[in-house]
Structure 1
Amino acid sequence: LDPASVSARRAVGWLYYYARRYHQAREHLSRAIEMNPMAVESYRMLGSTMALQGDVTEAERVLREALTLEGAGAYSKATLGWLLARSGRRAEAEQLLRELELSRGEGYVSPVAFAILHIGLGNLQEALDWSERAYDERRGWLAYVNVNPIFDPLRNEPRFAALVRKMRL
């Protein structure tokens, strides 16, 4: 891999994140942001990594910074909502959910974003509803549900197992 490639650096960070090797993920994603401070996805993945490491304050800072960047969208907002809900700030997370719902009137919002936020809120059946809708729409990010730690709360749900089987993951 080209060490000067932002895309390669971010991809390696994602692989470490999905492997739950958060220290290495954080290192690569932080470096990707240094190399390209406008890459929204690097911020979102770094914020998720920090949250899963228990560094909630820094995760929130990074996710809020992502929302200020051009191209930030539903996934960034949903990930911040997931973090806030997990941190006991349910009212703020529910406000972000309302904002996502309203933004559907302005354009497409991926069902995966709704699933992520509902997972944070502990609304597992709603998260499964949105995940199944994402499957029906063939949304790309759904392909990572079997390795994405955000989806861990769904792993013991029969509907989740059925979805993973249906996707042949």
Structure 2
Amino acid sequence: KTIELDATSPVAHQRLGSAYEQKGIFPEAIAEFQKAVDGSNRIQLAVACLAHAFALAGKRVEAEKLLAELRERSGREYVSSYLIAEIYVALGEKEAAFKSLDKAYDERSIDLVLAKVDPRLDPLRDDPRFAELVKRVGLPQ
């Protein structure tokens, strides 16, 4: 409905993309995230969401290209290490994901309050380091 009212809303496209991604409908998720990227002047959240969807869809090269863009941008602007961690999770790179989550903790990233409920971090939940991170952040056990 929101997109019907404002077809150019990057936020609406990002949220619709997230819904498609959670349902495993990756072509539609990628299309919506691309609209969010294009309509938002490449804000980091939209770029990270697109990278995440590419990774889950098995499009590793495309995901890594966007990850490299975010890493390059981090040299001149703040880029959320939490978002970087989510991309690493989707790429199956747990060690890099935990390094990024530790960096997010050091940065006092507000995004960490989502760690216990963020489905993008589900592949990390069985690792003892995840429980330790949740404890460090101060989230209820």
Structure 1 length as normaliser, TM-score? 0.75
Q: Which runs of 5+ in 2 are unaligned?
A: none
Report what 1:74 is aligned to.
Answer: 44
Aligned counterparts, 1:1-169, within 5 A: 31-70=1-40, 72-169=42-139
Instruction: Point out where structure 1 has 5 or more consecutive residues left out of the alignment.
Output: 1-30
Name the CA distance, whole Å, in 2 between partners of 1:150 and 1:162.
18
Cα displacement (A) at 1:40: 3.1
Name 1:19's counterpart in structure 2: none
* 1:75 Cα deviation after fit: 1.8
Q: Percent identity?
A: 35
The one-letter amino acid of 1:115's match is: A
1:115 and 1:127 in contact (8 A); partners too? yes
How high is the TM-score relative to the length of structure 2? Answer: 0.88
C-alpha distance in 2 between matches for 1:144 and 1:71: 25
* Letter in structure 2 aligned against 1:62: E
Distance 1:52 1:107, change over 3 A: same
Change (3 A) 1:129 1:57: same
Write the distance in 2 (CA, Å) between the matches of 1:145 and 1:34. 32
Contact 1:119 1:127 in 2 (8 A): yes
How many Å separate the matches in 2 of 1:120 and 1:72? 20
Aligned length: 139
Give yes or no for contact 2:112–2:137 (8 Å, CA) kept in 1: no
Provide the alpha-carbon RMSD of the alignment.
1.7
4+ long deviations beyond 6 Å: none
- Which secondary structure state, in structure 1, belongs to the residue aligned with residue 40 of structure 2? coil
CA distance in structure 1 between the partners assigned to 2:120 and 2:8 by the alignment: 24
